[in-house]
Structures are given as C-alpha cells and as structure tokens.
Structure 1
Amino acid sequence: MNFTDDTEEALRSAVWLVNSAEDPQTLETLADYEAFLSDFPYSGRLDRDDAELTSLREIRPRLRSMLIAPRDEMVEHVNSALAEAHLSPRLVRHDGADWHLHAVADERPLAERVLIETAMALIDVIRADEGSRITICADDTCEALALDLSRNRSKRYCSTACTNRNAVAAYRARRAST
C-alpha cells in the first residue's frame, strides 16, 4: 500500500511522538523539541516554548490510543478528534510539497494540528483497511510502536536497536541448539 507523502509523514511524526514517551524518554527539553522539528518540519505557528513542548508530550497517550486501536475503534478516535477541532480545511502547497490538505488553520496550537494531521492520516489507513501497518514492537521488552510502510509488510520492530537485539538472540538460540 502506498500512502500519500503527507499521510506517511503524519504517521511517522505521530509514531515518533508516541515512542518518545518510552524508556529512555526523549522530547524532554527544548533542544529535543528543536530536533523533532528538524526531523518533522511543521508549517504554521510554532511557539517553540515550554508550553508547546508540554502540550506535545500531553497528546502522546491519545495518539497512541488512536494509532493502535482496532479499525472500528480507530474510527471513533478519529471522529472524536475531528469533532473537537476548529476545522478550516483547505488545500495548500508549500516547502516543496505538492497540494495536500490542511484541516486546521496554521494559527492553531501545534498539538492540535498534530492530532488532526494524525486523524486525517488515519482516515486513509482506515479506508484502505491498513491498520495492521501500525503495531507494537515485536521485541518482548519494548512497548514502542512500529510503523511498517514497506511493500512486503516485513517491519516488526520499532528501531534498528530492537531488530539487532532480536537477531542476535535468535542467532545465539540457533547456535545453542546445534
């Protein structure tokens, strides 16, 4: 399944935010926040202050619930987020990105825009019945989310670290059984 660029970017951003709550925690300082914005540049209002950082950290549990919910529950989360938002949808083109939908005004708080962009991305996930692309990491010791945008649906782990740890464990288990 190929999603549009803005859908993929919104999903990557939301998964990163959710995973930033896992141990070790990230997104704790304004420097961490600046790094997030460097990796996931958002257009519109950016206050770049402690209040905005706090608001992003506060939406992480809600994003997690939205992202890992079964399809019908995901619909409920999306509808709830859309109903609460101050929607003003319009097509925009900026920063090298072709036409895409912004559902809320650029002046709205960043946390609200992130939440709604995630909801809009999940609309595509729901319509394509592709919720299985967002899972909890297959590492038994990890609770982070894994986003699989590969063609062959092969991604099982949230990070290279979890992938490598499990590959080494599997190798050692094979060696021990021979």
Structure 2
Amino acid sequence: MNFNSHTDAVVAVSVELVNLLTSGYKQGRPYSPPQDEDQKVAIATVLSARKRDRHLLTATETTEIQALAQRLRPIFTAVSLADHDDAAERVNALLRDTAAHPLLIKHDGEPWHIHFHGDRDSYTNDWAAGCATGLAIVLGSEHADRLGECTAPACDRVFVDTSRNGTRRFCSTSCQNRVKTAAFRAREKARK
C-alpha cells in the first residue's frame, strides 16, 4: 500500500519522530527518548534520511521537533481508538498552525512532485506542515485505519500499515513475535 512517494515519506517521518521522541513503552519495556546531543543527532538522522541532506539542528529546532512529535502521537492514538473525528481535528489544527500549502518541486534528479511547506521560512515548520499534510492525505482516504498504535502488551509505539492486506497491528516483528509466543505458551499451559 503506497499513497505516493512524498506522502509515504512524511508519514514515515511522523511515525519515526513519534516513536523516537515520545515516552511510553517499547517492545515490553519502558521507553524514554534520547536527551540533549543524542536527541539532536537522532532527530537529524531521521530527517536527513528523507531529505538527503544533513541539516545541523539548532537547540530551538530540536525543541520544535520534539513538540511536533508530542502533537503527532495523539493522532495515531485516536485512529487506534477508531476516533477519526478527533484525529482529523488534530491534523486540521496542525495544518492551520503551519499554514501548509502545496508546491511542485523538482530536486535530486527526481521528476516534479508535490511537497507541502508552511508559510514561514522555517526548517521545522516545513517538516510539521509536511507531516500534517501526509497524515491528512491518509486520514482523508479509505485507508485511514492504516495508522495506529502497537497492540502488543506494554508497547505504545506507532505505525503506518503499508501491507497489501492492511492487517498490521504491531509496530515491529519483535512485538508480533512476543504476542504469538505468549499465546502459544498460554495454549500449552492450558493443555497441561
């Protein structure tokens, strides 16, 4: 399941930022985001993997990206709870706050393709506008339920389901295997 290359990229960044920068649980264990310089490097790695450039984040930009991740998480939670109205309202608020608008852009030897940028000349606002627009495209399609939170116990990492059949419910193979192993052990114990 692919939406379009730019949408896929910014939705993937949304997932990565939420999973990197929000506290909670990951694969059965408490999770805390990296801090200080480790956080700055981790954010730069996520963003540069998509833009093919290495932007040196300022302290302000790091804080703004952290805040963006905090605003993105409840969107995935709302979809997991089948509350698409709440998810849409949150995305609309981000779209308004970033003043996202489409632009056709040609770069890195690629053909013309659509990007979404905000009206402020800001690295972080452009990312926020792109993430908001990508999520809006997914939520406004018949595939809105492809966003979600991991259903494994003690894991709240988020995902976008790009599988053909749309049945993914775990953030990783590790979580899926944990659930299958626990179910197998429970069946074995019940047989004894």
**TM category, shorter:** 0.7 to 0.9
SS in structure 2 opposite 1:103?
strand
Task: Tell me the CA shift for residue 127 of structure 1.
Answer: 2.6
Query: Conserved in 2, the CA contact under 8 Å of 1:71 and 1:129?
Result: no
SS in structure 1 opposite 2:70?
helix
Structure 1 pair 164/41, CA: closer, same or farther in 2 (3 Å)?
Answer: farther
CA distance, structure 2, for counterparts of residue 41 and residue 170 of structure 1:
41
Q: TM-score, normalised by structure 1?
A: 0.83
177, 186, 192: which one aligns with 1:164: 177
Unaligned runs of 5+ in 2: 24-29
SS in structure 1 opposite 2:105?
strand
SS in structure 1 opposite 2:164?
coil
Q: TM-score, normalised by structure 2?
A: 0.78
Output aligned runs, 1:1-178, within 5 Å.
1-20=1-20, 21-22=22-23, 23-28=30-35, 29=38, 30-41=40-51, 46-69=55-78, 70-87=83-100, 89-104=102-117, 108-178=121-191
Aligned length: 177
Structure 1 pair 110/174, CA: closer, same or farther in 2 (3 Å)?
Answer: farther
Deviations 1:88-142 (CA, angstroms, capped at 9, x unpaired): 5320122354432222269733332222112211232133132211111111211
Structure 1 pair 104/167, CA: closer, same or farther in 2 (3 Å)?
Answer: same
- Structure 2 letter corresponding to 1:162: C
Unaligned runs of 5+ in 1: none
SS in structure 1 opposite 2:106?
strand
Q: CA RMSD in A?
A: 2.6
SS in structure 2 opposite 1:140?
coil
